[in-house]
């Protein structure tokens, strides 16, 4: 297992990015917390994985977080709990109160969350994390050209939702 210092450093640098990725995918606040925790537990346990730099570490954490959320959603869809019920509990709320239900930013964030995935994840990584298409292709394990078309389609769909 990685050292406590290593884990704390990674959390300080990337906790927000991992939290946002989980919030983008998960159906409830509890799921976001679970996915967040599982991601960093995996990081702690992956002591054999070496990172070239901090960006590489961030990309790894985001990929693990996204996969974790998808696994949880799949598990939930197989269980008795209705997906509609869980989706209804989603609320993106920032701790400083800027993003609150009813605010413009809340509606915009919800619009992105309402998109299918893909293009939701590639579009999020492009708009919010500033990744290029080749970098996104590595995170989501897809061809670069496909990522380009996902981003274009996502932007189009986002415009339609917001209009």
Nearest to 38, CA basis, from 46, 27, 50, 48: 46
Q: Tell me if 112 sits within 8 A of 126, measured CB to CB.
A: no
* Cβ partners under 8 Å of residue 9, min gap 6: none
- Out of 40, 60, 131, 150, which residue is the one contacting another protein (CB under 8 A)? 40
- Out of 5, 96, 102, 141, which residue is the one contacting another protein (CB under 8 A)? 96
The CA distance from 59 to 18, in Å, is 10
Q: Tell me if 140 sits within 8 A of 147, measured CB to CB.
A: yes
Identify residues 97-136 at the interface with another protein (CB under 8 A): 98-99, 104-106, 108-109, 111-112, 124, 127-128
> Smallest distance from the beta carbon of 88 to another protein, in angstroms?
20
Q: Is the peptide bond before 6 cis (omega within 30 degrees of 0)?
A: no
> Does 19 participate in binding another protein (rule CB under 8 A)?
yes
- Out of 28, 44, 135, 149, which residue is the one contacting another protein (CB under 8 A)? 44
The CA distance from 76 to 45, in Å, is 25
N residues, the chain: 163
- Out of 49, 82, 89, 94, which residue is the one contacting another protein (CB under 8 A)? 94
Residue 119's CB: how many other CB atoms inside 10 A?
22
> Does 72 participate in binding another protein (rule CB under 8 A)?
no
Q: Which stretch binds another protein (CB under 8 A): 48-56, 57-65, 96-104, 136-144?
A: 96-104
> Does 148 participate in binding another protein (rule CB under 8 A)?
no
> Does 30 participate in binding another protein (rule CB under 8 A)?
no
- Out of 28, 41, 138, 148, which residue is the one contacting another protein (CB under 8 A)? 41
Which one, 37 or 85, has the nearer CB to another protein?
A: 37
């Amino acid at each position: 297992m990685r050292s406590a210092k290593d884990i704390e450093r990674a959390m300080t640098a990337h906790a927000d990015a991992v939290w946002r990725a989980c919030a983008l995918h998960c159906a409830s606040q509890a799921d976001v917390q679970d996915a967040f925790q599982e991601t960093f537990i995996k990081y702690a346990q992956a002591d054999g994985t070496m990172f070239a730099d901090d960006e590489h570490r961030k990309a790894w954490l985001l990929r693990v977080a996204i996969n974790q959320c998808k696994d949880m959603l799949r598990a939930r869809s197989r269980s008795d709990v209705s997906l509609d019920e869980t989706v209804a509990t989603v609320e993106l709320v920032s701790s400083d109160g800027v993003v609150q239900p009813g605010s413009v930013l809340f509606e915009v964030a919800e619009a992105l969350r309402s998109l299918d995935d893909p293009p939701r994840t590639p579009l999020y990584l492009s708009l919010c994390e500033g990744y290029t298409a080749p970098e996104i292709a590595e995170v989501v394990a897809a061809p670069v050209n496909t990522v380009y078309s996902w981003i274009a389609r996502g932007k189009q769909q986002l415009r339609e939702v917001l209009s």
